[in-house]
């Protein structure tokens, strides 16, 4: 991997910033535009960029497929888990108000949406990467010469 | 029985039952996906199905004392929030999906082991649970947009489940892709319709929508919404002529999936249609009644005859049964098209009965498929002697599909004909009888192969008598037995359908 020196250096610089921007979008989602879906896509882009520049093998070493599988499932578990916790605390499913006694500032609502968005982030990131891996990791049924 | 289970259950669980019906399979699907072994995944699947069954029993207990159960998601009441709403109409669909789901999971253990690669089984079960949760969600929700969300949840899982048939038959990929394209068009049409209704009424809650529509009357917008919703959900319910995706999807998907989808997916879509036509729109509105007579009844009658004729000419038993499913949707369309409580009850009755018989038929075909490859009717030759138990279940359900007395197929056709006669539609009665005769012809073709032909031979020797595993035989046997049992104890299904029909018709 000696080629594309500029691309490699620039992407190494950019990838942490992309993740940081993703997290900014994620937490901005509590108050305005943004949220788990958009942030998840942005964070997945950092892995996809890494795979494009350094190759699939390097990317799968950094973010292995089994981790992606767990990430996909854990997002759903976090989201639905918040619902079950609110049930255990005496509210209806996803009734965030019971999460925190401070009703005047709607602290429970803030907490609830924060956790739910983290669940969304986990699943969207993982699914985006999984889709990319599935397409990029596909081995053609026959080699190009055989056509 | 119901009281006993209710008494044993903590009060909190009873209160949350409407939410838990959907959310427990949904969260367990995530756990299933990361299970290391397929047996553990199946165990989670089974526990989810058992839990849903328990919750549905609790809902039965609750509904005995009240007309409607409303559960506000997140504590946000209607019309602002999403509410789950259980009444007599969707309770019977919930019971149907829950019981078929449970039987299919038990049935699935052996067939999935046979048909799906080892490393894909946990994901397969996970997709099944998502589909299961989605179908239950469509049934239980009282929010029009939530219906769309759950339709998509169940459909996306269904596309994956059908495509899993590719290990046995590569055509499953194109079948799944076709269904994906058409299913997406259907869902899009539906959501456009819901969007129009939202524009006209400013609410997404179905009960609220009905109230506002009754007050303001109908405009072009709500009429367009009606057309979009009918076409969208009609595609999902495989109403003739929107059924083209169905035969290939049923013929190529794994037998577990076929048995489950054939008895739940189209039924749930049909339920959603009934909910919109009767509970959001009202049948006494001019254009709704017009569509009942000229779209549902007429197209239903044409569908039941044409699809039966198509079934007659199929060589693959699964495709044959798939076309027969389209024909059976025709009966339901006719019942719905009558636009009165009697017709609606007949349609609902046939919906439940058809799920029971098609479930048993597809399960029996899957059981044959465990031991022999079944792709032509001649592959069924002599199975009556080789696999007598599965063949007997197939025969009972087949007889029920024709509508011969002593089976539930007769009950629902009887009620349908009575309802049709009350409207004086003699031509429709003739069509029902005609279609039943066609069913007699195509079922006889298969039964003749099973019982009259010689058993298959292998290297010149007759294949020895064999048996499907007990976990296949038991759910299949139960469904086949239900075909006869509910004829003699018809009160349960008939009563449920009549209560459901009067619940929606009375709600106008």
Mutate to test the interface with B, among A81, A94, A120 (most CBs of B within 10 A): A94
User: What is the structure's pLDDT at B3?
Assistant: 79
Least confident piece of the model among B81-85, B193-197, B464-468: B464-468
Report H helices in B64-120.
88-115
Query: Between these two residues, B282 and B31, which has the higher pLDDT value?
Result: B31
How far apart are the C-alpha atoms of B150 and A53, rounded to whole Å? 39
Which residue matches tokens 């739940």?
B264
Residue of B nearest to A94 (CA): B74
Mean pLDDT, rounded, for B442-459: 86
**Tell me, what's the pLDDT at B464?**
79
Q: Give the pLDDT of residue B461.
A: 76
Residue keyed to tokens 């497929």: A65
- Does residue A147 fall inside a structural domain? no
Position A87 in a domain: yes
Q: B29 at the A interface (CB within 8 A)?
A: yes
Euclidean distance between CA atoms B102 and B259, whole angstroms: 12
Residue B508 has pLDDT above 50, yes or no: no
Per-residue pLDDT averaged across B422-438, rounded? 90
Residues of chain A where predicted confidence (pLDDT) is lower than 70: 1-2, 140-147
Does residue B26 belong to the interface with chain A, where contact is any CB pair within 8 Å?
yes
Looking at the domain assignment, is residue A30 inside a domain?
yes
Q: What is the mean pLDDT of residues B49-62?
A: 92
Question: Three-state DSSP class for B31?
Answer: helix
Cα separation, B95 vs B472, in Å, equals 21
Contact residues on chain B for A70, CB-CB shorter than 8 A: 34
**pLDDT confidence tier of residue B496, bands split at 50, 70 and 90:** confident
How many C-beta atoms surround the C-beta of residue B179 within 10 A?
A: 24
Instruction: Say whether the peptide bond before residue B192 is cis (omega within 30 degrees of 0).
Output: no
pLDDT on residue B230:
93
The Cα of B34 is separated from the nearest Cα of chain A by a number of Å equal to: 6
User: What is chain B's mean pLDDT, rounded?
Assistant: 89
- B234 pLDDT above the threshold of 70: yes
Segment (H or E) for B84: strand B83-86
Report if residue A55 sits inside a domain.
yes
pLDDT in tens, B346-400: 999 999 999 999 999 999 999 988 888 888 888 888 888 888 899 999 999 999 9
CA angle B168, B108, B149 (to 5 degrees): 90
Does A87 contact B33 at a Cβ distance shorter than 8 Å? no
Cβ within 8 Å, pair B12-A87: yes
pLDDT band at B158 (very low <50, low <70, confident <90, very high): very high
In a domain, A105, yes or no: yes
Q: How many CA atoms lie within 13 A of B15 on its CB side?
A: 12
Determine contact: A87 vs chain B, CB below 8 A.
Answer: yes
Q: Is A96 helix (H, G, I), strand (E, B) or coil?
A: helix
Tokens of A135: 């397409």
From B57-61, B160-164, B453-457, B503-507, the region with the lowest mean pLDDT: B503-507
Q: What are phi and psi of B475, to 5 degrees?
A: -60, -35
* pTM passes above 0.90: yes
**Structural domain count of chain A:** 1
CB-based contact, A95 to chain B, within 8 Å: yes
Cα distances (Å, whole numbers) of residue A147 to A135, A139, A140, A141, A143: 21, 15, 12, 11, 8
Instruction: Write the residue in B27, B30, B74 that is nearest to A92 by C-beta.
Output: B74
Tens-place pLDDT, residues A48-74: 999 999 888 899 999 999 999 999 999
Compute the Cα dihedral for B113, B115, B118, B124 and give only its sign: negative
Residue A126 domain flag: yes
The Cα of A55 is separated from the nearest Cα of chain B by a number of Å equal to 26
Can you give the residue range of the structural domain that contains A84? 5-137
Structure tokens, B390: 């599965």
pLDDT of residue A141: 65
Phi, psi dihedral angles at B495 (to 5 degrees): -60, -40
Q: Percent of chain B beyond pLDDT 90?
A: 53
Structural domain contains residue A10: yes
How many angstroms separate the CA of residue A7 from the nearest CA in chain B?
A: 36
Pairing status of strand B69-72 against strand B457-458: unpaired
Q: What are the structure tokens assigned to B331, written together?
A: 């009966």
Residue A144 in any domain: the answer is no
pLDDT at B506 over 90: no
């Amino acid at each position: 991997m000696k080629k594309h020196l500029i691309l490699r250096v620039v992407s190494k610089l950019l990838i942490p910033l992309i993740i940081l921007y993703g997290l900014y979008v994620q937490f901005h989602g509590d108050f305005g535009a943004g949220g788990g879906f958009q942030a998840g896509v942005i964070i997945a882009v950092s892995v996809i960029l890494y795979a494009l520049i350094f190759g699939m093998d390097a990317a799968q070493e950094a973010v292995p497929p089994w981790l992606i599988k767990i990430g996909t499932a854990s997002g759903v578990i976090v989201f639905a888990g918040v619902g079950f916790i609110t049930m255990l605390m005496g509210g209806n499913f996803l009734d965030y108000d019971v999460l925190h006694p401070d009703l005047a500032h709607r602290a429970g609502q803030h907490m609830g949406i924060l956790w739910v968005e983290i669940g969304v982030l986990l699943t969207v990131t993982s699914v985006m990467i999984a889709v990319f891996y599935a397409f990029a990791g596909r081995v053609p049924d026959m080699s190009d010469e055989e056509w | 029985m119901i009281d006993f289970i209710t008494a044993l259950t903590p009060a909190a669980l009873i209160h949350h039952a409407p939410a838990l019906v959907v959310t427990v399979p949904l969260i367990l699907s995530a756990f299933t996906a990361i299970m290391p072994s397929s047996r553990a995944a199946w165990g989670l699947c089974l526990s989810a199905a058992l839990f849903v069954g328990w919750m549905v029993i609790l809902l039965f207990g609750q509904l005995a004392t009240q007309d409607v159960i409303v559960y506000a998601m997140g504590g946000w009441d209607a019309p602002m929030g999403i509410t789950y709403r259980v009444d007599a109409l969707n309770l019977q669909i919930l019971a149907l999906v829950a019981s078929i789901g449970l039987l299919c999971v038990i049935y699935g253990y052996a067939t999935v082991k046979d048909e799906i690669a080892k490393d894909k089984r946990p994901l397969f079960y996970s997709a099944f649970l998502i589909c299961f949760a989605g179908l239950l969600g469509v049934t239980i929700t009282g929010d029009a947009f939530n219906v769309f969300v759950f339709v998509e949840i169940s459909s996306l899982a269904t596309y994956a489940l059908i495509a899993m048939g590719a290990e046995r038959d590569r055509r499953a990929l194109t079948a799944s892709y076709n269904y994906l394209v058409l299913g997406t068009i259907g869902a899009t049409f539906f959501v456009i319709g819901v969007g129009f209704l939202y524009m006209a009424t400013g609410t997404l809650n179905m009960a609220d929508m009905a109230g506002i529509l009754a007050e303001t009357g109908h405009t072009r917008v709500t009429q367009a919404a009606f057309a979009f919703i009918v076409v969208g959900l009609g595609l999902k319910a495989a109403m003739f002529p929107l059924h083209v995706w169905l035969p290939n999807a049923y013929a190529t998907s794994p037998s577990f999936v076929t048995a489950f989808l054939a008895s739940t997916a189209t039924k749930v879509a049909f339920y959603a249609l009934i909910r919109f036509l009767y509970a959001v729109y009202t049948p006494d509105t001019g254009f709704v009644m017009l569509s009942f007579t000229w779209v549902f009844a007429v197209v239903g009658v044409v569908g039941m005859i044409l699809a039966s004729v198509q079934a007659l000419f199929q060589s693959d038993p699964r495709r044959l049964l798939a076309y027969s499913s389209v024909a059976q949707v025709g009966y339901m369309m006719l019942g719905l098209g009558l636009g009165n409580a009697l017709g609606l009850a007949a349609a609902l009755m046939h919906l439940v009965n058809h799920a029971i018989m098609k479930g048993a038929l597809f399960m029996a075909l899957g059981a044959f498929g465990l031991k022999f490859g079944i792709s032509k009717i001649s592959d069924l030759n002599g199975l009556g002697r080789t696999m007598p138990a599965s063949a007997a279940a197939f025969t009972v359900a087949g007889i029920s599909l024709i509508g011969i007395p002593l089976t539930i197929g007769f009950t629902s056709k009887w009620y349908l004909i009575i309802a049709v006669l009350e409207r004086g539609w003699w031509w429709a009665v003739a069509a029902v009888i005609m279609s039943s005769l066609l069913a007699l012809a195509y079922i006889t073709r298969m039964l003749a192969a099973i019982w009259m032909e010689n058993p298959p031979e292998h290297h010149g020797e007759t294949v020895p008598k064999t048996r499907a595993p007990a976990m296949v035989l038991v759910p299949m046997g139960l469904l086949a037995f239900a075909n006869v049992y509910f004829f003699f104890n018809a009160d349960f299904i008939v009563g449920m359908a009549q209560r459901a029909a009067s619940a929606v018709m009375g709600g106008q």
